Chains A and B, each alone.
Chain A
Amino acid sequence: MNHIGTLAERRAARLARATAATPPQPLRVRRAMADGEVVHIVQGEQYVSEDPNVVIATLLGSCVAGCLRDPIARVGGMNHFLLPGGEGAREDIGFGVHAMELLVNALLAHGARRERIEAKLFGGSCVVAGLTSVGEKNARFAEEFLRREGIRHIGGSLRGDSGRRLQYWPVSGRARQVFMGSTAPELIARETRPVATPKTEDAGALELF
């Protein structure tokens, strides 16, 4: 690691590296901890880093966070996605596939190799009455995606009826979760928001050369 420069300069350089690969990257480093920086992401976002001092944090209900890293390239990242309605609809699955592919490609752009990537999955719980199948659908999709793609699923925590505060150290692969009450107001508010799409400019349109 290069430690030359001020904290702000190093932070800016890290953000520039982390955001170079794919468009949907949050730029909201909100606070510094004694042992590093915490980058908060929300639904529809992802973050990738090769900085061992960075911690990626998120709040999960029925959403799923995929935490992927290459232990040899020492780079990792987290996404946070929620499949829209429609049980099993192709469009919904495509939404999740896109979120996972963006994260995998961002790792590859930082020197990771697909066959070395290992994953932890978190979330997919049932925290709001009436949304019973949503968490299960997200959890099942994420597990199935890893299985089909041959990405090693080495751990995590899926399902249940409590929300989770999740922290993930993308270089070491360490993860820490704290369960929240299923009726936590912050969680209810997030669960009832519209689904956020990973933003991609001009998605699906043909550009002829």
Chain B
Amino acid sequence: MSKTVLTVDDSRTMRDMLRLALIDAGFDVVQAEDGVQGLEVLQDVRPDVIITDINMPRMDGYGFMQGVRADVQNRAIPILVLTTESSPEKKVRARDAGATGWIVKPFDPQKLVDAINRVAA
């Protein structure tokens, strides 16, 4: 059975690139364009892995991850941050908000698939 990945990114182009890469690798993909929509999606879908950007309008990646972890049913879902940012301070903040791992853009499709399989195992 295919694993389901929720991608949260405000860039339509980036969402489409992620969707194509993940579908090619055999994943089911659900998408959200910011943290607010991401939390709404989680009311209906229980993904195996979440990939989220940090810089987003309405609710950024930190707020989204805190919202995910606030629901006890979602505490075990691995969350990978996929972002252009790479500062240690932001990584610490993401870890404290509930992130499992951090990937700096631009993403390499195969490395991303490997990362998903690693945290979803």
Contact = CB atoms under 8 A, between A and B. Distances in A.
A23 interface: yes
Contacts of B108: 203-204
Interface residues of B, number: 34
Given A95-B106, A206-B111, A148 B14 contact: no
A108 B106 CA distance: 18
Contacts of B66: none
Nearest to B116: A206
Contact of B13 (A95, A109, A148, A201): A148
A29 B99 CA distance: 39
A4 B12 CA distance: 43
A208 B86 contact: no
A205 B104 contact: yes
B37 interface: no
B95 A209 contact: yes
B57 interface: yes
Contact of B86 (A98, A101, A200): A200
Contacts of B95: 209
A105 interface: yes
